């Protein structure tokens, strides 16, 4: 038996290039070549210009290759948070030792406090606390006098 041209990778019968270009299947065994199993055969057909409408982003054919990242991509992906491993005590000591940085920190704290507006309920609560504290001081002074 002599083979000329293309043969089916499934049944080894000869294939007509024109029929193969129309429907990507074998007329003898009805095998559809649009499958992961026949990727090498499809790529051979693409290289020789027999078939030209294959999508390389087709998930049915190339799904495994598209899904997974390569090892180098995984190595480049850095998911660590440096703040978790950083020793912040040194930085805090440096701020305490350097008065200029302390002043800057105090200014920043003052600016942050300005952004917090108190509600009338919070102001009323503070007024009552002041009132109760003054009353308690008066009562304590009267007890000391007696």
pLDDT tens, position by position, 10-66? 888 888 888 887 888 888 888 887 777 888 888 888 888 888 777 666 666 666 655
pLDDT tens, position by position, 116-134? 556 777 778 888 888 999 9
Instruction: Give the bridge partners for 16, in sequence order.
Output: none
Q: What is the pTM of this model?
A: 0.39
pLDDT tens, position by position, 64-123? 655 556 667 666 666 666 666 666 666 666 555 655 655 666 666 655 555 555 677 777
Contacts of 55 (CB under 8 A, 6+ apart): 61
């Amino acid at each position: 038996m002599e083979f000329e041209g293309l043969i089916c990778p499934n049944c080894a019968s000869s294939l007509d290039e024109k029929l193969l270009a129309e429907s990507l299947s074998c007329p003898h065994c009805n095998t559809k070549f649009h499958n992961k199993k026949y990727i090498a055969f499809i790529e051979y057909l693409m290289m020789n210009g027999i078939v030209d409408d294959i999508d390389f982003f087709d998930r049915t054919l190339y799904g495994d290759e598209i899904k997974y990242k390569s090892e180098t991509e995984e190595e480049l992906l850095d998911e660590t948070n440096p703040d978790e491993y950083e020793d912040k005590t040194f930085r805090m000591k440096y701020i305490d030792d350097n008065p200029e940085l302390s002043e800057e920190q105090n200014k920043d704290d003052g600016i942050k406090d300005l952004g917090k507006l108190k509600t009338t309920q919070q102001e009323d609560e503070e007024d009552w606390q002041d009132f109760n504290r003054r009353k308690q001081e008066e009562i304590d002074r009267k007890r000391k006098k007696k």
